[in-house]
Amino acid sequence: MAPILHLEGVTMTFGGLVAVDRFDLTLQPGELVGLIGPNGAGKTTVFNMITGHYEPTAGRILFEGQEITGSPPDRVTALGIARTFQNVRLFGGMTVLENVLVSYHVRLRSSVWGAFLRLPGYNREEEAMREEGMELLRQVGLGGLAHAEASSLPYGQQRRLEIARALATRPRLLLLDEPAAGMNPEETRNLMAFIRRIREQFGLTILLIEHDMKLVMGICERIRVLDHGQSIAEGDPAAIQAHPKVIEAYLGEEEA
């Protein structure tokens, strides 16, 4: 089976600082993989290179066999890669449905003039988009909140909405940057079940960054560990928990 994502010797430097050093990673379709490491290890920099927010200093990034190294974020999204961010980035003054509709616009075929003049073709597209948005919200358990203001949602539901907004771009690869950040234990358990469900329901490959080890060890089939921009370990959860370098760099003797 051909990989859905392949990073080959990817390096990112900022001046004299090497944030990520010759990083390799291959994801197969349908995998759920964790990327962990201490703060400043380079995890979010990897996400930013994949999604076109940073252009790597060296190396290549291929998505479904097509090189996307340095491609702009809008093209990366259109190809089928979506992401969330460590800090929730919702449009707080807009409704839940409106937040999802923003992402659907990447798929609109009508011209700017068609939208401005409200031409029939645009109106049909917009109506179909609203129906699809409502169906997506029902699928992620937010259908009853479609017309609520996004900022009024509890934190766990705001996280779910952010993921729904990413799903609206119809990705095949979903990157989740610390989805459990700020959640209480019950919200985290619900999130774990939610991530498992959307992977199956939407046929996704998922790469996630997370500091909550219970979540990572509970749902990831494979884990890669970064420290100071370099990969120091890879394996299943049991192997990672027992790895001496991981214990030293990240988990800590007591927690391990």
Q: What is the pLDDT of residues 189-230, one digit of tens each?
A: 999 999 999 999 999 999 999 989 899 999 999 999 999 999
Instruction: Give the CATH number, domain containing residue 129.
Output: 3.40.50.300
Q: Give the domain range for residue 179.
A: 5-251
Is 256 a member of any domain?
Answer: no
Contact criterion met (CB below 8 Å) for 1 and 31: no
Residue 165 CA: distances (Å) to CA of 67, 108, 158: 25, 15, 10
Amino acid at 190: N
How far from the centroid of its chain's Cα atoms is residue 250's Cα?
A: 22
Is 179 a member of any domain?
Answer: yes
Is 59 a member of any domain?
Answer: yes
Is 100 a member of any domain?
Answer: yes
Which pLDDT score, from 0 to 100, does residue 113 have? 44
- Number of structural domains found in the chain: 1
Is 150 a member of any domain?
Answer: yes
Which pLDDT score, from 0 to 100, does residue 249 have? 76
Q: Nearest Cα to 86, choosing from 122, 128, 35? A: 35
Question: DSSP character for 158?
Answer: H
* Chain mean pLDDT for the chain: 89
Is 95 a member of any domain?
Answer: yes
Is 52 a member of any domain?
Answer: yes
Q: What is the pLDDT of residues 164-179, one digit of tens each?
A: 999 999 999 999 999 9
Q: What's this model's pTM, rounded to 2 decimal places?
A: 0.88
